[in-house]
Structure 1
Amino acid sequence: MTSSKSNRSYWKRNQIAITPWLFLLPAMIMFALYVVWPIVQSFNLSLYRWDGLGEARYIGMQNYEELWYDDAFYTSLWNNVLWLVLYLLAIPAGLLIAIFLNQNVRGIRIYKSLFFFPFVISQVVVGLVFTWFYDPSFGLLNIVLGWVGLGPIAVLANNEIATYGIIAAGLWPQTAYCMILYLTGLNAVDPEQIEAARLDGAKGGKMLWYVILPQLRPATFIAFVVTVIGALRSFDLVSIMTDGGPFGSTRVLAFYMFEVALSEYGFRMGYGAAIAVVLFLIMLIYISYFLIKMYRDERGV
């Protein structure tokens, strides 16, 4: 009897603190089962040699040692660095477009629809559209180049520029996504701060840097995280547009992981898991750095 009373009193004393966790518990369980546990399994699988069907054999760090001498891995890693650096251009581009679309000008709904369109189509469609766009025979890019007397350029067949062509294709929908985030953020900007800044003589770049951007930090954070994840998990555009070619020059880590684990390299699940672990660690370090920097900026440390 005393125990039940004490339990009820504990619940009454801590009800406000416990209730949010009860609502979060189902989501936390799902996150643990479908995100955390697969990550742990990937770390474990990377220590084995396994073809996906037979018995897995423990080999320790041999998969990682092989990665160290794998030229294809370094090509994929370098391409991912290019994706990370160039993909971040989607954030300022999305911000500038959002600022333009936030104005009251004639035909703004048509402009919003045009800029929003890339976001609603799939990456497969984007890949096909840009493959046709780059086609040296009938692609719009080479038709325009022909008007100015430049010869046809086979973008996706040139191992020096093919990766840049795929990244340009990826930037199209990613910029649209960042634009949507910033449009939402601009709707929450305090108009009183804008008016006060105008009275103080702030305009143009100063207004944007000192008044608007600080209020857009939540949108910037989400845009940054989503863009980094999108750059690191780039797979579908590479698969659709070049299938890793020419000569493996457009491979990224996610695509190379697929190749070695589930494609022509003989179902090397452990080696593919090792690539996945490296990709996860890069993503973790990159996003953690930004989180820490943002936290320090918020605290003024």
Structure 2
Amino acid sequence: MTEAVAHKRVSRRPNRLKLAPWLFLAPGLLMFLIYVLVPIVESFWISFHDWDGLGAMSWIGMGNYVELLDDDTFYVSLWNNLLWLVLYLLSIPAGLAVALFLNQNVAGIRIYKSMFFFPFVISQVVVGLIFTWFYAPGFGPLSVFLEWLTGDEIAILADERYVTYGIILAGLWPQTAYCMILYLAGLNNINSEQVEAARMDGAKGFSMLWHVILPQLRPATFIALVVTVIGSLRSFDLVSIMTAGGPYGSSQVLSYFMYEQALSEYGYRMGYGASIAVVLFLIMMVFITFFITRMLNQERNI
């Protein structure tokens, strides 16, 4: 009898070992289901309705998407998001350059690290206010410098030609700091033996960086790419603080356009706002899927 009980206990142990990871994952999976997957499905469902957020929903099928394709503001927002995406990627090489500069043992390097780390810890709202002052006509440092250089006063945030570039520049400041942190963490895990072997083979400078350092920084680069792409496509805070989509809607992005249609005084068009959110979600999924697929293929080829 004792041997039978012992055999049952031994047979149950593998099942317990299989169950244990799922018990630890369960709270996170439940939160992911409630706060991520369910809202995504609901957004798709709401986008097929005309709804003000309070009354009964009215089914209109693809009506919101048809209207979206005829909306000039949608194309302005989409173009601005593409600008954000392309120019925001500059934060990755900039963050790498700063990380390489800070990854050395010299006097006072901790002070420099703190200075470059500072933009990452402050709020996007504060960043927006700082750059609004920086661009302000008459007394803003950049405005004064441009007036001295060209003889004309340029109101960057009030000029349709420059406003989007001005906001993107503001966003690059904290994003570069974030990429810098990722690369600093990656540089701390560099295999020193490979670096020494490369030096013995005569590698140095750009050759060392390209053939030895960067291949070992692929995980950091992947995370930086994904986070930067997501940040560029969202880009809500700075637009809201610095211009509220102006002047004349020229700095609109999809996330702010969605907010303006769904939750502002423009009409509380939840269905139309949800259709914008769905388009933004699909764009994000395309880019993220592309990066993940490419990284997996590279890992398989190694």
TM-score tier, shorter chain, comes to over 0.9
- Output aligned runs, 1:6-85, within 5 Å: 11-85=12-86
Q: Distance in 1 between matches of 2:14 and 2:165?
A: 60
Task: State the secondary structure of the residue aligned to 1:60.
Answer: coil
Q: Distance in 1 between matches of 2:266 and 2:10?
A: 62
Matched residues, number? 298
Q: Indicate whether 1:217 and 2:213 are aligned.
A: no
- CA shift, 1:264, in A, is 3.0
Q: Distance in 2 between matches of 1:181 and 1:188?
A: 11
Q: Distance in 1 between matches of 2:11 and 2:242?
A: 61
- Tell me what 2:123 maps to: 122
Q: Do the aligned partners of 2:147 and 2:154 also contact (CA within 8 Å) in 1?
A: no
- CA shift, 1:222, in A, is 1.1
Q: Which residues of structure 2 form unaligned runs of 5+?
A: none
- Output aligned runs, 1:243-262, within 5 Å: 243-262=244-263
Bigger shift: residues 259-268 or 92-101: 259-268
- Output aligned runs, 1:159-174, within 5 Å: 159-174=160-175
- CA shift, 1:227, in A, is 0.7
Deviations 1:188-233 (A, max 9, x none): 1111111011001111111111111111111111111111111111
- CA shift, 1:20, in A, is 1.9
- Tell me what 1:284 maps to: 285
Q: Distance in 2 between matches of 1:262 and 1:7?
A: 60
Partner amino acid, structure 2, of 1:258 = Y
Q: Indicate whether 1:185 and 2:186 are aligned.
A: yes
Partner amino acid, structure 1, of 2:64 = N
Q: Distance in 2 between matches of 1:234 and 1:113?
A: 25
- Tell me what 2:98 maps to: 97
- Tell me what 1:237 maps to: 238
Q: Distance in 2 between matches of 1:103 and 1:86?
A: 28
Q: Distance in 2 between matches of 1:213 and 1:188?
A: 12
In structure 2, the CA distance between the partners of 1:264 and 1:106, relative to structure 1 (3 Å rule), is: same
Q: Distance in 2 between matches of 1:86 and 1:149?
A: 25
In structure 2, the CA distance between the partners of 1:24 and 1:152, relative to structure 1 (3 Å rule), is: same
In structure 2, the CA distance between the partners of 1:6 and 1:230, relative to structure 1 (3 Å rule), is: farther
Deviations 1:65-89 (A, max 9, x none): 1111111011101100111111011
- Tell me what 1:113 maps to: 114
In structure 2, the CA distance between the partners of 1:200 and 1:110, relative to structure 1 (3 Å rule), is: same
Task: State the secondary structure of the residue aligned to 2:129.
Answer: helix
Q: Distance in 1 between matches of 2:178 and 2:42?
A: 32
Deviations 1:88-144 (A, max 9, x none): 110110001000000122221121111111011100010010001001110000222
Partner amino acid, structure 2, of 1:22 = L
Q: Distance in 2 between matches of 1:107 and 1:210?
A: 30
Q: Distance in 1 between matches of 2:63 and 2:130?
A: 41
Seq. identity, % = 66
Q: Do the aligned partners of 1:185 and 1:219 also contact (CA within 8 Å) in 2?
A: yes
Q: Distance in 1 between matches of 2:12 and 2:226?
A: 38
- Tell me the TM-score normalized by structure 1: 0.95
Q: Distance in 2 between matches of 1:192 and 1:184?
A: 18
Q: Do the aligned partners of 2:43 and 2:278 also contact (CA within 8 Å) in 1?
A: yes
Q: Indicate whether 1:175 and 2:188 are aligned.
A: no
Task: State the secondary structure of the residue aligned to 1:184.
Answer: helix
